[in-house]
Every structure is written in structure tokens, then in C-alpha cells.
């Protein structure tokens, strides 16, 4: 296999079959040369988990298992290639839910063994960043990245495809988690982020929900305080039997959270003298965040990039793109000893 990795690096065209199963989306994609998506198949389990108000790990793994073989067949079919034409198999090995990740990892190992193709282990966060390479064909590092998902909130300096430095991160909840919890207290369906996004458009910014001041002069975030104040507000209003206007709660919460994300990102851009900021992760789909960050980045002579909506949330194309750049740098090589990692360093 060692020689095969060496050969891969020097191949002119690289076709990667990528697998993603870290949470509640089972996804398989075929990506050519890191930027051209030949197929991108996603089986979402949102409807299954909705009745529980969030992802149930055991149910997620079981459904990944049910879906993955068919998705693999479908991904090859839509890409119009045979299994022999694949150059490498890439898979998300962390971070994520252990049981969910294991389904993708084991399937990828099986394929790698059966087809005799090299296996590439991809960090999910690197995948989210790479989703921008698919959307913007000319985008290249260096740039700053605002990483906003259900599991991560951070500002990163991306100095090369494989060089990441954490400039700041959340000290408690990820921003997506805060969106989902606030949605839940408003009895909105899971996942809450898109629901808050829609509702906020109809509401007024007239309730004072603020983020903690303690981290004001840093590039770190804290969202647990604002999440709790929304929850307390709703409970108090219910106790007093007063009418809650969900649109106003959503709007007031979203305004504060997006202001905080944008303010710290702009500060990081100024500090690192970076003109480009690339957003990654599911919360990147948020319309208010997009509008504010685009505007503020422009004001300082910079530019904000957001992945195309379908690549904001979990997908396998982004894993195939990240794997391409790993291969070019001789990174990510894995074998049949690969296992899933629920938490993982940058």
C-alpha cells in the first residue's frame, strides 16, 4: 500500500470516493481533483430524530448501517464510474458520535480492502473548511476561517491546505447547539437553526438577550449564558401566563449571537491582517450571519465566503475535497487499524 500512496500523490487526476457518517446524515460522494463533485448523495435522518427533539446516537448508527451500501452504489452510478476507477477511499474518522462514525469507518475499511484502494482518514472540521473549495473554484489559503457548526465554534487561521491554527474557540456550547436548544424551548422542530432563521425574519429585536462580557477582549466565545437567558425568559413568561412572541425571541437571540460572531471575526481579520474570511459548518447557512459578515468584511476592504447551502451542513463531498489536499501533502494515510474518534484535535 505504501507505494500506492506515493503513486497517488503524483497522479494527475484523482478520483476519491468519500464517506461521511459522523452525526445524522449518511453521505457518500465522488469528487475529482478536490473541487469537481461527480456525485453527492445524502440520506438525512432528520425526520427520524425529529420526534425525539434531537439526535439519538443508537438510532443514528442503525440507520447509517441500513443506508450506506445503497448510497455507495448510487454515488458510483450518478458519477458514472465503476469501483475500479476510484483512486482512494476517504472517510470521516472524527469528531462525531462514536457509533455513527464507526459505520462509515468500517464500511470504508471494507471497501479499501475489497477493492485494494488506499484509505484516507479525514477530520470532519477540515472537511467543513474544504466545502468552500468546492463552491469557490479559485479559493486558496491563506485565509481566516469562522467555523460554526453543531459541535464547533472557532476562529482559525488557515495558512495552507493542511495548516490550521486556532485563534479562538467557544469555552462552552457550540453556536449550533445554542440555536438548537433555543428552538427546542420554543417548541420548534429539530434541527432548530433553520427554524430560528425563518422565524427571526418575522420578529422584532426587542428583548435583551446578551452574550457574556467576560470574553470581550479575546477571540473566544461563550453561548451558554445567552442560551440560558432565553430559556429562563420563556419559562418566566409561561409561569406568569404571559404571551410569548416566538418571532421576537428568535430575532432578539439571533441578532445578539450573530453580532458576537461577526464582531470577533472582524477583530481576528484585523489582528491577523487577513482580508479573506471563509465560513464553515451548518450555522454558515444562517441568513443573518451571511448578511452581516459580508457587509462588515466589505467595510474593512475584505470579503466573506460562505459555502453553497448544500455544502454548509454535513456532506461527503467536503470530505473528498479535504482528502485530495491531504494526499497532495502525503497526509491522512490510514489502514485497517483505523478507528473512529469522538473527539479529535484540529
The residues binding Zn ion (CB under 5 A) are 149, 314
What residues contact 61, with CB distance under 8 A and at least 6 apart?
A: 97, 99, 100, 102, 103
Find the shortest distance in angstroms from Cβ 310 to ligand KG4: 11
Our measurement of the distance from residue 198's CA atom to the centroid of its chain's CA atoms, rounded to an integer in Å, reads 20
Taking the alpha carbons of 6, 111, 18, 74 in that order, is the dihedral positive or negative? positive
Give the number of residues in contact with ligand KG4, rule: CB under 6 A: 19
Query: Among 54-62, 74-82, 262-270, 283-291, which window interacts with ligand KG4 (CB under 6 A)?
Result: 283-291
DSSP 316: S
- Among 282, 302, 307, 332, the residue binding ligand KG4 under the rule CB under 6 A is 282
Residue 332 interaction partner, one of ligand KG4, Zn ion, none, beta carbon < 5-8 Å per kind: none
- To the nearest 10 degrees (0 to 180), the angle between helices 224-239 and 246-271 is 170
- Among 20, 87, 173, 197, the residue binding ligand KG4 under the rule CB under 6 A is 197
What residues contact 9, with CB distance under 8 A and at least 6 apart?
A: 327, 328, 330
Query: Is 261 a binder of ligand KG4 (CB under 6 A)?
Result: no
Question: Which triple of cell numbers denotes residue 196?
Answer: 430560528
What residues contact 212, with CB distance under 8 A and at least 6 apart?
A: 222, 225, 226
Residue 94 interaction partner, one of ligand KG4, Zn ion, none, beta carbon < 5-8 Å per kind: none
> Which residue's CB is nearer to Zn ion, number 149 or number 256?
149
The beta strand positions in the chain, using DSSP E, are 15-20, 25-32, 36-44, 88-94, 119-123, 143-148, 153-160, 163-169, 276-280, 303-305, 333-334
- Among 112, 149, 272, 321, the residue binding ligand KG4 under the rule CB under 6 A is 149
Query: Is 94 a binder of ligand KG4 (CB under 6 A)?
Result: no
Name residues contacting ligand KG4, limited to 5-44 (CB under 6 A): 23
Query: Is 151 a binder of ligand KG4 (CB under 6 A)?
Result: yes
Q: What is the contact surface with ligand KG4 in residues (CB under 6 A)?
A: 23, 149-151, 176, 179-180, 191-194, 197, 281-283, 285-286, 313-314
Amino acid at each position: 500500500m505504501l507505494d500506492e500512496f506515493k503513486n497517488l500523490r503524483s497522479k494527475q487526476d484523482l478520483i476519491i470516493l468519500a464517506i461521511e457518517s459522523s452525526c445524522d446524515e449518511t453521505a457518500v460522494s465522488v469528487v475529482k481533483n478536490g473541487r469537481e463533485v461527480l456525485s453527492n448523495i445524502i440520506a438525512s435522518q432528520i425526520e427520524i430524530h425529529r420526534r425525539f427533539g434531537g439526535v439519538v446516537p443508537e438510532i443514528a448508527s442503525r440507520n447509517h448501517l441500513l443506508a450506506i451500501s445503497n448510497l455507495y452504489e448510487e454515488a458510483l452510478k450518478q458519477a458514472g464510474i465503476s469501483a475500479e476507477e476510484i483512486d482512494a477511499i476517504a472517510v470521516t474518522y472524527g469528531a462525531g458520535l462514536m457509533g455513527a462514525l464507526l459505520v462509515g469507518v468500517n464500511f470504508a475499511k471494507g471497501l479499501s480492502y475489497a477493492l485494494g484502494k488506499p484509505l484516507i482518514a479525514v477530520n470532519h472540521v477540515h472537511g467543513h473548511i474544504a466545502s468552500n473549495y468546492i463552491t469557490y473554484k479559485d479559493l486558496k489559503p491563506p485565509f481566516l476561517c469562522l467555523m460554526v457548526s453543531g459541535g464547533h465554534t472557532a476562529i482559525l487561521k488557515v495558512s495552507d491546505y493542511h495548516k490550521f491554527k486556532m485563534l479562538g474557540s467557544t469555552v462552552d456550547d457550540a453556536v449550533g447547539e445554542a440555536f438548537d436548544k433555543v428552538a427546542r424551548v420554543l417548541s420548534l422542530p429539530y434541527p432548530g437553526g433553520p427554524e430560528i432563521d425563518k422565524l427571526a425574519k418575522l420578529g422584532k429585536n426587542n428583548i435583551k438577550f446578551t452574550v457574556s462580557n467576560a470574553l470581550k477582549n479575546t477571540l473566544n466565545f461563550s453561548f451558554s449564558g445567552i442560551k440560558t437567558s432565553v430559556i429562563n425568559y420563556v419559562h418566566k413568561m409561561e409561569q406568569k401566563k404571559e404571551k410569548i412572541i416566538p418571532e421576537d425571541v428568535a430575532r432578539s437571540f439571533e441578532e445578539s449571537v450573530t453580532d458576537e460572531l461577526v464582531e470577533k471575526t472582524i477583530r481576528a481579520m484585523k489582528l491577523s491582517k487577513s482580508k479573506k474570511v471563509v465560513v464553515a459548518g451548518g450555522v454558515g447557512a444562517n441568513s443573518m450571519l451571511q448578511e452581516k459578515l459580508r457587509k462588515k468584511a466589505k467595510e474593512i476592504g475584505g470579503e466573506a465566503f460562505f459555502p453553497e447551502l448544500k455544502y454548509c451542513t454535513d456532506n461527503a463531498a467536503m470530505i473528498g475535497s479535504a482528502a485530495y489536499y491531504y494526499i497532495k501533502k502525503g497526509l491522512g494515510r490510514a489502514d485497517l487499524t483505523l478507528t473512529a474518534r469522538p473527539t479529535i484535535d484540529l
